[in-house]
Amino acid sequence: MRTLLHRTALATGLAILATVAHAQQPPEPSVPAGLGGDMPAAASSCLSCHGVDGRPVLIDVPIIAGQQPIYLRNALRAYRSGTRTGGQALVMQEIVKTLSDDDMDALASWFGGQ
């Protein structure tokens, strides 16, 4: 798992995986506590806001660990197509714009399975 995460961070240029105290910068990659299975590479850009243990610190960001996979998949596609708007949709539209259908399916399945 640790090796996978290191590769992911290097491949995406994003290592914002954990909410380490005192950080202004992307913290060092670490294994998300409490999350199991093979994490999809694209998930690295989700955890900084949605929480490394499935419980976000940010109070206006939803808990997605354990959410219904079909709901997650539909939500991701709606953000990418621009049909889901309002609230913090602008942030999600930016995050998902480069994801493929397969990426979205993998993310929905993995987060839903936590």
Partner 1 sequence: MPAISRRDVLKSTAALGLGGILGGIGWGIVGARATVHQDQASPLGIADDLANPAELHSVDGRLHADLYMSISDQTLPSGPAQLRIFNDTLPAPTLRLQPGDTLEVAFENRMPPNPDRRDITVNVPNRFNTTNIHYHGFHVSPLGNSDNVYLEIEPGQRFNYVVQLPQDHPAGSYWYHPHRHGSVSAQVASGAAGMAIIGGALDEVPEIAAAVERILVLQAPVPGIDGVLDDEEPIWALTAERDFLVNGQFRPRIYIRQGEVQHWRVLHAGDAQFLPLRADGLEIYEVGRDGNPLQSAQLTELIDLAPGNRADLLVKAGELGHYTLLRPAFNQGTQAMLEFVMADIFVIAADDPRVAPGIDFGTEIPTGELPDNDILVDIEDDEITGHRTFVLGVSDVKGYFHDTLFTINDQSFDPGRDDVVTKLGAVEEWTLVNTTPFPHPLHIHVNPFQLVEINGEPAPGKPWLDTVPVPAAGSVKFRTRFLDFPGRFVMHCHILPHEDTGMMININIQA
Binding site for partner 1 (CB under 8 A): 9, 13-16, 19, 21-26, 45, 48-49, 57-61, 85-91, 94-95
CB 106 to partner 1: min, Å: 20
Length of the chain: 114
Q: Which amino acid is at 25?
A: Q
CB 44 to partner 1: min, Å: 10
Q: Which amino acid is at 113?
A: G
Which of residues 20 and 70 has its CB atom nearest to partner 1 in the complex?
Answer: 20
CB 98 to partner 1: min, Å: 11
The DSSP secondary-structure symbol of 84 reads S
